[in-house]
Amino acid sequence: MAASKTASKTAPKTAPKAEPYVLVLYYSRQGATATMAQHIARGVELVPGMSARLRTVPAVSANTEQTEDDIPAEGPLYCELADLRDCAGLVMGSPTRFGNMAAPLKYFLDQTSSLWLSGAMIDKPAAVFTSSTSLHGGQESTLLTMLLPLLHHGMLIAGLPYSEPGLMSTTSGGTPYGASHWAGGDSKRPVDEVEATLCRALGQRVARLCAGWST
């Protein structure tokens, strides 16, 4: 008892807890997935007390001697393992590539074994988003396969519920498995209002789950 009294007198003041954040992690080469990430971040920040942390990943090269700069030339910073370890929740996005996520994002995920071993991601809410050129060219397969590593990490998966009116009315992107965007044949079609609304809804939903609200 005496020891605990002494300890309480001398215990250092605990540092103030950092504001919880949702990590919006994505890869984008032509900018569509990056635009979606910004809409998702806006949705996250609609939830009081929650902030969004936008991070990307470097491209991978077939030339193994070529390395990327540590800091990207533009846009958000590259994601570090600590960004992932310390997030309250995750929303992860990739262009559709042959019906699957892009290699740079998979390459990043393949470096997260230490987080898997420590169980750092268990019970954290997570969701996914994608952009594709063709309307039926693999958005849903990309979203579903992106969820697999997150399930291995023990994360709690959130999709989009049909209470979002855009899910029924969309003539472009938007799925119950996550947000999506139809970028069109030239990959330049802008993110439309329905797609943007669903992106915001997804970010907001993950942030609400992180904050312990019911959805």
Name the site residues for ligand FMN (rule: CB under 6 A).
28-34, 95-99, 131-134, 137-138, 183, 187
CB 32 → ligand FMN: shortest distance, Å?
3
Q: Is 145 helix (H, G, I), strand (E, B) or coil?
A: helix
In the complex, residue closest to ligand FMN by CB: 137
CB 27 → ligand FMN: shortest distance, Å?
7
Minimum CB distance to ligand FMN smaller for 92 or for 120: 92
CB 198 → ligand FMN: shortest distance, Å?
16
Report the C-alpha gap between 102 and 100 in whole angstroms.
7
CB 109 → ligand FMN: shortest distance, Å?
17
Minimum CB distance to ligand FMN smaller for 90 or for 183: 183
Report the C-alpha gap between 31 and 195 in whole angstroms.
15
Minimum CB distance to ligand FMN smaller for 89 or for 95: 95
CB 159 → ligand FMN: shortest distance, Å?
20
The Cα-based distances of 101 to 48, 98, 107, 142 in angstroms read 31, 8, 10, 6
Q: How many residues comprise the chain?
A: 215
Minimum CB distance to ligand FMN smaller for 81 or for 135: 135
Q: What is the largest CA-CA distance in the chain?
A: 74
Minimum CB distance to ligand FMN smaller for 185 or for 212: 185
Question: 47: phi > 0 → left, psi -120 to 50 → alpha, else beta; which?
Answer: beta
At CB < 8 A and 24+ separation, what contacts does 74-80 make?
75/34, 79/23, 79/25, 79/55, 79/108, 80/55
